[in-house]
Chains A and B, each alone.
Chain A
Amino acid sequence: MRKPRYPHLGRGWRSALVGLGLAALSPAPAALANALHLSQEPAVVPCALTVRQQPLAEVLASIEQQTGYRFLYVDQANRLGRRISVEAPHSNLQAVLQLVAAQAGVQFTVQEKRILVKATAPKATADVPVKGRVADAKGAGLPGVSIRVKDSTLGTTTTNDGSYQLSVPNGSTLIFSFIGYVAEQLTVGEKTTYDVVLREDVTSLDEVVVTSLGIPREERELGFANAKISNEQLTEAKSNNWTDALSGKVAGLNLIRSGGGPAGSNRIILRGESSLAGDNDALIVVDGVVLGGSSRATGNGSSAYLQSESPVDFGTSLNDINPEDIESVTVLKGPGATALYGARGGNGAVIITTKSGKARPKGIGVTFNSNSAFESISRWPDYQYEYGQGSAGENYYSYGNTADGPSTRSTSSAWGPKFNGQSFFQYDPATNAAGTERTPWVAQPNNRKDFFQTGKTFTNTVSIDGATDRTSVRLSLTNLQNTWIIPNTGYDRNTVALSASQKVTDKLQVSAKVNYTNRASDNLPSTGYNNQTIMYWSILQVPNGNLDWLRDYWAPGAVGVTQRYPFSSLVDNPYLIANEMLNKSNRNSLTGNVQVNYKFSKDWNLMLRSALDYSYEARSQQRPKDTERYKDGMFRTQSIFSQEVNHDFLLQYSHTFGKFDVSASAGGSSLRNRYDKNELRAERLLYPQVFTFANSRDLPIALPYRADFAVNSFYGLATVAYRKFLYLDLTGRQDWTSTLATANSVQASRVPFYPSASLSTIVSDLVPLPEVVSFAKLRASWARVGSGGTTPYLTAYTYAVATGFPSGLSNPASIANAGLKPRSTESIELGADLRFLRNRIGLDVTVYRNNTSNQILSAPIDRSAGYNEVVINAGLVRNQGLEIQANGTVLANPQGLGWRVYGTFTANRNKVVELADSLLTYQLQRGPGGRGTVEARPGGSMGAIYGRGYERAPDGQIIYENGYPVLGDASKYLGSALPQWKASAGTEFSYKSLRLSVLFDGQFGAKAYSLTNASLAEGGKTTATLPGRYNGIIGQGVVRNSDGTFRPNDVVADNIVNYYTIHYGRDNVEANLFRTDFIKLREMRLDYALPAPLLSKLHLTQASVGVYGRDLLIISNWPAFDPEFGTLNNGSIDLGFELGQFPSTRTVGLNLTVGI
């Protein structure tokens, strides 16, 4: 990843400004004669001048000094910077002026003691032909090198052998530039041949990346794929969860978003899902601290479909990292890169390095960054507002039993009468009962949209940093305030980050990094399809429901006791949900490390490090009385303490033996992880609106939960480089993990040895390649790593506590396994890093195959054996894929015009190769109420969706019976929830201080079930359910004749509710499965950075302002909101079934950065 180069504007700018200023002050000359009108006098004025390559301005100044003549400047500003050489040690003014005029392209008019200076018309200047050859350091000619004449439009490029030829004004400056090389300048003098050697811009190739265990390595020597993301790329278009910014920037990375509100969590999946047990998330490492506990899956254990409680996304500590504090992120995609993480490296790793202090010109630097983001809803389902509330066939409306007929108010369906200007007895909010008079029957087309508001996030960061040769310090403070699109939801976050490093002696360096975050919310929205969720209400909202009728959500005189909701009794008032059903959270987290480096000698270095990831979170949920799920109210709290402490050491040795550079490291670590969650529940309350345990009607239920584990490890790493073009890496790690121990034995806790080997070679340094290839590296790696070893207590049979029962115990649902092993992933990866056309085009291609075996399966067994499942090691899942990252520089000229493009492509094929012996299928997910499943079956993928669908004739047409489509009882394969491929394309234009960047990304080939669509259709609320409301409908399909043949359906379905319910209702998994393909305009940003001269006037080191947009456009056929979703379920985020998702939003923001 290279930054666009900005031209150095400094000096040229300054002299130009001076010139312009003078010109403005001088009186304009009355008349100007032809070239070089000199009076007699200058010829006798002595003038001695010997200058080499000095700017014209200085030359003229020196002439003024000698002769007493004054120069007057007219419209020649751009000539004053031109460097000229004059060799006239004993001359006169006239001669000198002649020499100067020829070289500088100006003409002089002497008027008494003044000399007018004017630019010569270009034609008048004699052009000098110049030629030459441009070559690289090895002497090979460079074709296509851009040659420009400074301050003019003249220019050319070199031919195939590197030679060039052009005519330029004498004294011009030529600029030779080429991508990947350091630009050269020269001034044309007497000579006519100028040969130039361009040096490679080595910095772009020797980029340093942070690898496993925080070891920095040069990118060129790595034998595995990685991707490095810079701070700018992360903060380009900020969202509340910084990991959103990884979308479209890393091939092979898949983000699964819960979309669960302001604190929405993302799962980061690298190279496909491989674990049938579900723990597929990449390892997250911040400054050497594994976020091992505090990033544990969020949520509260409820699933998303009509349970007594609904999941709430409380976010994870990964979300809470402040992107402003991130220096860079390295994504280590495969086991080849993460083998040093041993039993935890199976899912790849995301290595986050936070910023440190930097040396500043003024000693310290203060940077202020302010970001304002505004979030609004970007897509809606196709709601219908033509027909109002009512059940099938009701052609009138009556709120309660009235003169018009029995009450039709309690349904939340919209199969009722059309809005035709008629009047009915409707709800009267004044009396909270039926109106006494009929009122007009009208649609309320904004009665969902108006409930939501614009989400706002304001983030302000101040950071101070500085460094000397011995000390560096950085401190940053960030405050974030968010209000979300649902009223009364949002959160505040404060972050303090401190990084300090001190060289105590030349050998001893001590450094520490600490990040403290407090995140507090008075209400995070409940997610999913259930009474506590806004989206459930939004689906059940009736077209004639007036939002204003709902704002007073308590019945008059019954605050806290009786809620007011004039329609279906299945639904809670949305304002009651937003204002009274609160989910609170307050989290304090601290991550940090202290590190000591001791450099014994040039070759030996010892690193000792202690790292801590600590968090404490207090959560609570409160539900008032008279809510559908908690008629007597509810109050629950959870105190969650989580901590991971890791101590490690690494002894490093490096030495050069002739042509071999050898480095070897050996280290060890000791890790302790604790998670402690204490929950208290009052499931019924005594007094309304008092949310304490003292107000519990029943004995409060205590649900303590604790999990501890420890891992001890030794590891080693050796790298041998041969002549800096052939690199061999070997690593090995031995872990001992407590999760595999039993009460009687630790025999099993020694897990298999995890080795890896990788090889990379810089082919372009080894063999001559065609000119077009400027750099070529091939790499290969093999590794075996583990995962899933961090779940404790699977090895012993224990009785579960029967919640709520005094001394109650129950047998476990699962049979423990005393001989459990961690999951094992074996990976092969091949890759190439290619750069073409003098590094103008870069292409990085990787193919891989990961086989994950020894899956820790809770394998279902026949319940008649007494248990749901048995914990076993079995199964094999294969992920094979292709990753391409490409970038190209279309334009880069030192004048400041730049245009670069980049893109990624990812294809991953997931295959369940085998399960356990007796297992023909393994259920990974269940759809709403058991409608549909995601199942792993040998030969299929981990995203295979099964469910009920249409009965079809042999030619595939839907079979109808009595006018209605027929659903089969059997569950059949309907599609895959895993995308086949993902791609992104981005581009960036820069011109001087302006920069515009745009990023698109998309995914293709996956399907998902939409409950939002099903439920809306069942209620007659989508436009798809409009046809046939009065007259019935004849469905497209066939009818089975008595002889077994089929004829086109010709039977009218009169019951339109029944017809659409079979077609689109939630039981019909097939019809509710939609493609989740999308293309999103993911990021767009326009930046303006203040130019340096202005900055120095303002005494600033940097200042820039940017406007950006995120998810501005979604192109998709998805019927609900966002095709890119995950559903928060029991603490995991699942693909496959959308269960009342929140609206998709687009974010527009403004960002201001000022550095002092």
Chain B
Amino acid sequence: MKKLLAYAFLAAASITTFSACTKGFEELNINPNQNPNVVPEALLAPALTDLVKRNMDRAFRITNELMQVHVSRVDNDEFHRYVIRSAEADYMWNAWYTQLTDFRDMYTSASAVKSSAFMSIARICEVWTFSLLTDTFGDVPYAEAIQGRGGVLLPKFDRQEDIYRDLFTKLEEANTLLKASVNLPADQAQLDPLYKGDIAKWRKFGNSLYLRLLLRVSNRTDAIANGLSPQAKLRDMVNTNPGDYPLIADNAESAILRWSGTAPYQSPFQTYRTADFTSFSSMSEFFINNLREWNDPRLAKWATISNGTYEGIPSGYLPAQIPAAKSTYPTALMTEPLLGNILNYPEVQLNLAEAALRGWITGDAKAYYETGATSGITLWGLPVPSGFLANTDVKWDPATPEAKRLDQIHLQKYYALFFTDFQQWFEYRRTGHPVLPLGPGLRNNRQMPARINYPVYVQSLNQVNYQAAVADQGPDDINTKVWWQQ
């Protein structure tokens, strides 16, 4: 009996071979909750929507404080005093590179199915996102970035100059590809939340972005824009070959992710607690006073009435001297479709105005300026008040010094860029306009931060490349000027 059993057991053990012990395991470990495959149209809407939401969130948290749109009434929130804590860096770094992974993957999968439309849409989104990254941080991982799946876990940093050179190449590529593209078929068009598959509009957005970025680097004269200097490329686009570089030509063509209010197209503020959006800050004096002076109808959309009128509080107040609450954001802004702005028509016009004013392109700076200023109001569905362009600060007078007119352009652009990621701050860093009042409580040597530090964790997780970047660019603090700012 004993022997019999022992043999039986041995036999059973040997029959149960390797394969029996793993039978069906391949199928069992295929994740039913996720998809092993991807098509380009599946990636666009989630990535773009998430990106715009995050940009709005940061505009609310950082840009609007640095740029005196509103002022925090929480004493230890000190952006308005030019204090940016090192932990602020992670949010953008992580968000932007996350979406870049999707945009790059969109390009790859679009190439595989030979969809020139999605290849170029992917390029435009990628360029836009990388421009946000490098404008915020300076030198960042670029050529080796977003290749973790291929095993590149420690990407090296690239110089901003080199990054911009490649961004311009990619925008040319997108423009060329789109020229030959047709509108997306209906089933794909509905997955495009920005332009519903209208290729012409995407092309205009891409070129308008080109315009914005050329201006961004216009302090430099290196031949970085596909063999031309920024100034020369501007002329090429606007004056020499305007037909090859169509730009956003009216408010309707603006790149705005308009929030419908229905999931998933909901403003990030829609789910905020009302008090979190309105109660801990008031609008700034600077922001309110200009609009009030111009009798600007946007004021009613952007601020609440305080003591029977619109009034703001000073930015940069002294520690512990918190001003009493005045006008705040109205709750209607929490669901406002237009806050999903990426790049709008007024900005394009005002960019052209600056280029014309500075003589980089030929054209009527005044016309660009006035179209930009008034379409900033009409974009919000509001009538331009009579005499708006005759207001002291608005009126275009060719006799005034260029700097004064430059400030006028940027003041209008400041309002056109309401809640638009970090654009107000980028433009202020580049031009110093609009000129902001400086409060007594400012820190950081009363200097507007010139960049944001790299995330602290990068110092350990990508140590060697981080150190090389710091050695090349300068100290990793908020006052080191990026390449285009030098």
Contact = CB atoms under 8 A, between A and B. Distances in A.
Interface of A: 308, 392, 410, 531, 568-570, 600-601, 603-604, 606, 628-629, 651, 653, 666, 668, 683, 697-699, 701, 704-710, 712, 714, 736, 738-746, 749-750, 792-793, 795-813, 815, 860-868, 870, 918-921, 930, 962, 964, 969, 1054-1055, 1058, 1061-1062, 1065, 1067
B29 A709 contact: yes
A568 B153 CA distance: 48
A961 to B, nearest CB: 9
Contacts of A604: 1-2, 5
A456 B293 CA distance: 66
Interface in B1-48: 1-2, 5, 9, 13, 16, 18, 20-22, 24-26, 28-39, 41-43, 45-47
B463 A708 contact: no
A793 B34 contact: yes
A181 B5 CA distance: 43
A495 to B, nearest CB: 33
Question: A653, A801, A810, A930: which has the most chain B beta carbons within 10 Å?
Answer: A810
A698 B263 contact: yes
Interface string B120-155: 000000000000000000001100011111001111
Nearest to B29: A741
Nearest to B75: A1058
Contact of B462 (A708, A864, A1058): A864
10 contacts: A708-B28, A709-B29, A710-B28, A743-B29, A749-B22, A815-B149, A862-B154, A866-B98, A962-B319, A962-B320
B85 interface: yes
B115 interface: no
Contacts of A704: 33
A282 B159 CA distance: 51
B290 interface: no
Nearest to B133: A864
A740 to B, nearest CB: 8
A746 B102 contact: no
Contacts of A1065: 76
- A-B CB proximity, top 5 nearest: A802-B46, A866-B146, A865-B148, A798-B34, A804-B264
A864 B146 contact: yes
Interface in B140-182: 140-141, 145-149, 152-155
A668 B22 contact: no
B97 interface: yes
A918 B76 contact: no
A862 B141 contact: yes
Given A604-B5, A746-B26, A1054-B320, A800 B34 contact: yes
A686 to B, nearest CB: 13
A862 B26 contact: no
A868 B90 CA distance: 11
Contact of B274 (A569, A705, A799): A569
Given A569-B279, A712-B21, A865 B13 contact: no
Contacts of A744: 26
A746 B273 contact: no
Nearest to B320: A1055
Contacts of A742: 26, 29
Contact of B35 (A801, A804, A1058): A801
B101 interface: yes
B432 to A, nearest CB: 28
B147 A793 contact: no
B97 A864 contact: yes
Given A308-B271, A866-B146, A811 B26 contact: no
Interface string B81-112: 00001110000011001101110110000000
Nearest to A872: B153
Interface in B182-229: 190-191
A360 B36 CA distance: 62
Contacts of B97: 863-866
A862 B22 contact: no
A799 B41 CA distance: 13
Contacts of B149: 797, 815, 866-867
Contact of A746 (B22, B32, B152, B279): B22
Contact of A863 (B31, B98, B102): B98
Contacts of A629: 271, 273
Nearest to A865: B148
A864 B460 contact: no
A815 B322 CA distance: 47
B104 to A, nearest CB: 8
Given A714-B16, A799-B37, A736 B461 contact: no
Contacts of A743: 26, 29-30, 36
A805 B87 contact: no
A1058 B322 CA distance: 10
B380 interface: no
A706 B36 CA distance: 16
A862 B97 CA distance: 10
Given A746-B22, A918-B461, A797 B320 contact: no
A398 to B, nearest CB: 14
Size category, B interface? 35 or more
B46 A805 contact: yes
Contacts of A698: 262-263
A1058 B147 CA distance: 47
Nearest to A861: B153
A568 to B, nearest CB: 7
Contact of B24 (A697, A710, A815, A964): A710
Interface string B461-477: 11100000000000000
Given A862-B153, A969-B85, A969-B86, A738 B25 contact: yes
B35 A808 contact: no
Interface in B432-483: 455, 457-458, 460-463
A601 B28 CA distance: 41
A488 to B, nearest CB: 24
B191 A806 contact: yes
A919 B42 CA distance: 34
Given A604-B2, A666-B9, A918-B463, A570 B263 contact: no
Contacts of A798: 31, 34-36
B25 A862 contact: no
B275 interface: yes
A864 B155 contact: yes
A164 B158 CA distance: 95
A714 B273 CA distance: 56
Contacts of B275: 568-570, 628
Contacts of B13: 666, 668, 714
A651 B5 contact: yes
A866 B319 contact: no
Given A805-B45, A805-B46, A1061-B76, 18 more contacts: A531-B273, A666-B13, A697-B262, A750-B21, A793-B31, A808-B264, A809-B35, A860-B457, A861-B153, A861-B461, A861-B462, A864-B145, A865-B148, A866-B97, A866-B100, A867-B148, A930-B87, A962-B319
Given A805-B45, A864-B97, A797 B1 contact: no
Given A668-B16, A805-B46, A865 B154 contact: yes
Contacts of A651: 5, 9
A603 B42 CA distance: 65
Contact of B26 (A741, A860, A962): A741
Contacts of A736: 21-22, 25
A639 B47 CA distance: 30
Given A811-B105, A866-B148, A799 B26 contact: no
A628 B29 contact: no
A792 B35 contact: no
A799 B22 contact: no
A1026 to B, nearest CB: 19
B277 to A, nearest CB: 11
B464 to A, nearest CB: 9
Nearest to B73: A391
Contact of B94 (A795, A808, A863): A863
Contact of A792 (B22, B31, B38, B94): B31
